[in-house]
Structure 1
Amino acid sequence: MNPTPEIPAELLAEMTPAVRAFVESLLASMELQRVRMQAEIDELKAQVKRLTPQNSSIPPSTQHPHARATPKPKSKSKKKRGGQPGHKRIVRELVPIERCEEVIPLLPENCRRCGEDLDGTDPEPIRHQVWELPKIEPMIREYQRHRRTCRRCGTSTCAALPAGVPSGQFGPKLLAFTGLLMGHFRQSKRRAALFLSDLLNMPCCPAATVKMQNRVSQALEQPYEDLRALLANEKQLNMDESPTKQANQKAWLWTAVSPRFAVFAIFASRAATALPKLLGDQFKGIINCDRAKMYWQAERLQWCWAHLKRDFQSLIDHRDHQVKRLGHDLMRPVDHLFLIWHKYKSGSLSWKTFQTQVRPLCEKVNSLLLRGVSSGNKRLVGTCRESSNHRKWLWTFTEVEGIEPTNNVAERALRPAVIYRKLSFGTQSEKGSRFIERMLTVSETCRLQKRSVYQWLTQAVEASLSGQQAPSLFDKH
């Protein structure tokens, strides 16, 4: 601690006793304030050091692997590495000879022992197959549009392109593949152009990939809007959002995931006004989400218990013994709650039995939250008040069958988009944002439905080039 600043001797000689007393009290007060501020700064620094992905919303990627908690040492296994006895062997089966590009017979000419000339054939030779990439050559079709002059009126008429033939130089499969490279596999326009040029022998530049991106985005517009319109009728949605950028301006990427499809949308704001833009004004279902306040306008919510567990772990990691104790008291029934939930999900418990066993745990957690609110401890009040006031949103999954207690579904769907943002720093235009939200929607929806993204995207582009209706993204089966 620094000593209280002293008044210079030349100033002391000019001060009256009253002035000197006032200045000394003022300096003492300033020093006391400095000491308090330094203590608060030290406490805040200590709190920041205690924050981890396990007790806060800090992304796991921000923590160095070596800085994570060391797992409990396990006894070294005596088993050798690799497959264990009884493990099912996985081998690449030989393909029929008819599928081979070339069959090369290899006949030994001399005896490996005495050198005598050998003849004859082996009816069952050892078959050895080598897989290799074919030489990739683009398929190029030339359409020669002839002109003819009318003998009667002298008008020149040029032949039109057939239906489905693009006016540009990129066919539907190439358009779909390039869209996948940029929107699904998260490649930059420069790297996508490099891939097309080097591996597929198709001359391409970044500007050409922009044109292809816009063409693919146009083909996805109607299927995307049709899918987005279905959100209003869903009984349950998992939702999450993440910051992004558009033309160096802050924006937000939202996702709404149902059991059969997912919809992404980029808005300029995270405010509550974005929710009806995505879901419409008629949505009456249940939203599984974190505790962000823009979701509170919905009629019914299920708050994510993974977020709540991180908050309780934060209490456990606190230095205050009162805070630490409530954290442990809350974590015990929550762990028991998830144990019962996993038994229900595995089929070991019926829905009615699950509800019966979980009811006392709900009451226990609610009473502990009230204890935190009435404790007078600032840290506990801040953590427990919101959850206690809206405790009805904690237990929806125990009242409505089919609702998950966590929002992991939406977070898993959002993860590829977050990785894309970190690689590309967002989009540079309105058109780029529309392409990303549509491609992410197609990618995640096809994953949920176990469909081929490339096949569906190719069909959508072919339909767009032919002026026909694109296939639906909503698979009812």
Structure 2
Amino acid sequence: MSESIVIAGIEIPKADWDATPASVQALVLVLSERLMHIEEQLSQNSSNSSLPPSSDTLSKAKSKSTSETPPKEKASDPKESNRKDKKQSRQNDTKSEKAKGFGFYPVEECNIHHHIPSSCVHCGEVLSGVDASPHRHQVVDIPPLQLSVEEHQLHQLTCECCGKTSRGVLPPEVPTTSYGDRLVGFVGLLSSGEHRQSHSMAQSLLQVLFNLEVSRSSINRMRTQVSEAVSDPVEEAIGYVQRQASVHSDETGFPQRNRDGQNPENRKGWLWILCVPMVMVFHVALHRSQQVSKELIGEGFKGIVHSDRYSAYNWLPVEQRQVCWAHLKRDLTKIAERSGVSKEYGEALLARQARLFRWWHRVRDGTMRREQFIDAVEHLRRGFKATLEEVSAFDVGTKEKTPLAKSVRTLREILKVESALWTFVYTPELEPTNNTAERGLRPGVIWRRTTQGSQSKKGSEFVERILTVTSSLKLQGRNSWDYLSEAIRAKRLGLPAPSLLPIPKPQEPLMPLALPQASDLVTT
């Protein structure tokens, strides 16, 4: 058999390649590199890149679900099969019960209407008596919304002694503007990351719901009022987050225009997030640099930061980092989808990653002790690192764009932070991924897509503050509209604004010890 070589994934006889002119060979190699780059770009999806799942096409989603779902095997043990059938039956029953609809509201919260039959529908006989457990049917509706308009008439009287006039003054609890606290809070809530209503959309909704006409400038002033009212609680929340033992951090693009002259260089804005249990903090900056990361997290931060491998976090010591394994899995998947040596090493590293997560799920479910997990990971870690070092030692040019060169560069970057991959193994209560921060950023990402960012620095301040408020209160199960109304009222009266920090639950009083009485003692 004649010797053959592979060019751009196609096997051809070596004699034919040697007979090709050198200029044509160079052209073929350049074009093949471009082709492989284009194919790699076209094959990107949520499993091998940072693209969101919503960007996956239907065909990619189907192939992904098909590849991830293993074929069902017939159980050899009839008892095992019977147990699985019963479990599936219970799951189906639970799903059907949930699909029946919402539960009943308490009777105390309802207007009761009794419908009692006067005669038998079968024979016509007159009926009497009371049904102790009647069939219940509830209708939930929204009553007509009515504005509450309070008019304050300030009377002006003339003094008979000096001839000067005096006019009554508004009490401190009455706003000096034309809009009350709850209306201003409602406009702020409409503009939040969950509802994302633009000025014109908020105008239209107020007109439909309340027959209230409000100008765009009035809506903008109300948003500014909301932003100023929650400024202090947001600063308090930032300090709270910086004192925690671990935080999740991430960032995404968020444009800020130059309408106010605060962005003369037209820099691209970035929306940063810090997450801890029950509190999320957002910040819009014109840089994605280490300096912004230091200011937000705090240079004196002593805890552990969950993040991706972006260089803005390189100022942190490696022992204070937990690099996200979800990002790592996507990079390894991209490497495994390449041809040749890249595919071999990518699949080997993915296999170790899958084994690691199987063990982690067992630790999280309580079926594997932490000590066993650490012992098992030690061996896996040595193999994982050895593979990274082996590939990183490959000699590739700085400008080489082959699939292998791309894989080598990626694995070299991973090797630099290899120690930060395993922090969660030795530190309880840590997660191996940064999914918490990524999920927290989604409202901001959707807001960016619908509004194309903010128009000014004050607009960015409103975005970061209202996202901090609504996201944190949602985690705590608190009402955002009530909170914003209270914050606006406190700002107007010069009182401290309500805190965004988690409200500690009152502890139940300890039961006193039942000491024996003298009459209960038995002497022998």
Q: TM-score range by the shorter chain?
A: 0.7 to 0.9
Query: Is 2:444 the partner of 1:437?
Result: no
1:123 alignment partner, one of 120, 130, 143: 130
Q: CA deviation at 1:385?
A: 0.9
Query: Counterpart in 1 of 2:332?
Result: 312
Q: Distance in 2 between matches of 1:73 and 1:232?
A: 43
Q: CA deviation at 1:341?
A: 1.0
Matches within 5 A, 1:40-439: 40-70=33-63, 71=66, 84=93, 92-93=103-104, 95-96=106-107, 100-101=110-111, 103=113, 123-124=130-131, 128-183=137-192, 184-247=194-257, 249=266, 250-299=268-317, 300-320=320-340, 322-376=341-395, 377-439=404-466
Contact 1:213 1:435 survives alignment (8 Å): yes
Contact 2:454 2:460 survives alignment (8 Å): yes
Q: CA deviation at 1:40?
A: 2.4
Judged with a 3 Å threshold, the aligned counterparts in structure 2 of structure 1 residues 213 and 407 are, in CA distance, closer, same or farther, namely same
Q: Distance in 2 between matches of 1:155 and 1:32?
A: 101
Query: Is 2:39 the partner of 1:39?
Result: no
Q: CA deviation at 1:100?
A: 4.7
Judged with a 3 Å threshold, the aligned counterparts in structure 2 of structure 1 residues 349 and 156 are, in CA distance, closer, same or farther, namely farther
Judged with a 3 Å threshold, the aligned counterparts in structure 2 of structure 1 residues 315 and 207 are, in CA distance, closer, same or farther, namely same
Contact 1:242 1:252 survives alignment (8 Å): yes
Q: CA deviation at 1:296?
A: 0.4
Q: Distance in 1 between matches of 2:28 and 2:235?
A: 60
Contact 2:117 2:127 survives alignment (8 Å): no
Show structure 2 runs of 5+ residues with no match.
1-20, 73-83, 259-265, 396-403, 505-524
Judged with a 3 Å threshold, the aligned counterparts in structure 2 of structure 1 residues 69 and 382 are, in CA distance, closer, same or farther, namely farther
| Letter paired with 2:464 | E
Q: Distance in 1 between matches of 2:158 and 2:176?
A: 23
Contact 2:255 2:270 survives alignment (8 Å): yes
Show structure 1 runs of 5+ residues with no match.
1-27
Q: CA deviation at 1:159?
A: 2.3
Give SS of 1:297's match: coil
| Letter paired with 2:435 | N
Contact 1:164 1:467 survives alignment (8 Å): no
Q: Distance in 1 between matches of 2:28 and 2:362?
A: 54
Give SS of 2:34's match: helix
Give SS of 2:439's match: helix
Judged with a 3 Å threshold, the aligned counterparts in structure 2 of structure 1 residues 60 and 128 are, in CA distance, closer, same or farther, namely closer
Q: Distance in 2 between matches of 1:471 and 1:284?
A: 28
Q: CA deviation at 1:319?
A: 1.3
Q: Distance in 2 between matches of 1:350 and 1:211?
A: 57
Judged with a 3 Å threshold, the aligned counterparts in structure 2 of structure 1 residues 382 and 99 are, in CA distance, closer, same or farther, namely closer
| Letter paired with 2:246 | Q
| Letter paired with 1:42 | L
Contact 2:249 2:437 survives alignment (8 Å): yes
| Letter paired with 2:502 | D
Give SS of 2:385's match: helix
Q: CA deviation at 1:291?
A: 0.5
Q: CA deviation at 1:138?
A: 0.8
Q: CA deviation at 1:307?
A: 0.8
Worse overlay, 267-276 or 227-236: 227-236
Instruction: Report Cα offsets for 1:109-164 as digits up to 9, x if no partner.
Output: x88678x7x86766337654433221111111111122233444444333222223
Percent identity of equivalent pairs: 31
Worse overlay, 152-161 or 300-309: 152-161
Q: Distance in 2 between matches of 1:120 and 1:57?
A: 70
Q: CA deviation at 1:39?
A: 2.4
| Letter paired with 2:253 | P
Judged with a 3 Å threshold, the aligned counterparts in structure 2 of structure 1 residues 337 and 203 are, in CA distance, closer, same or farther, namely same
Q: Distance in 1 between matches of 2:198 and 2:218?
A: 13
Q: CA deviation at 1:105?
A: 5.1
Give SS of 2:255's match: strand
Q: Distance in 2 between matches of 1:442 and 1:158?
A: 40
Q: Distance in 2 between matches of 1:64 and 1:223?
A: 42
Q: Distance in 1 between matches of 2:422 and 2:117?
A: 75
How many residues matched?
445
Q: Distance in 1 between matches of 2:302 and 2:106?
A: 54
Q: Distance in 1 between matches of 2:110 and 2:469?
A: 36
| Letter paired with 2:168 | A
Give SS of 2:367's match: coil
Q: CA deviation at 1:432?
A: 1.3
Instruction: Report Cα offsets for 1:54-109 as digits up to 9, x if no partner.
Output: 1122222222123334215867x9999x953896576643653x75557475766x
Judged with a 3 Å threshold, the aligned counterparts in structure 2 of structure 1 residues 199 and 211 are, in CA distance, closer, same or farther, namely same
| Letter paired with 2:454 | T
Q: CA deviation at 1:347?
A: 2.0
Give SS of 1:166's match: coil
Contact 2:45 2:55 survives alignment (8 Å): no
Contact 1:251 1:266 survives alignment (8 Å): yes
Q: CA deviation at 1:366?
A: 0.8
What is the RMSD of the two structures over their aligned residues, measured on CA atoms? 3.0
Q: Distance in 2 between matches of 1:87 and 1:132?
A: 25
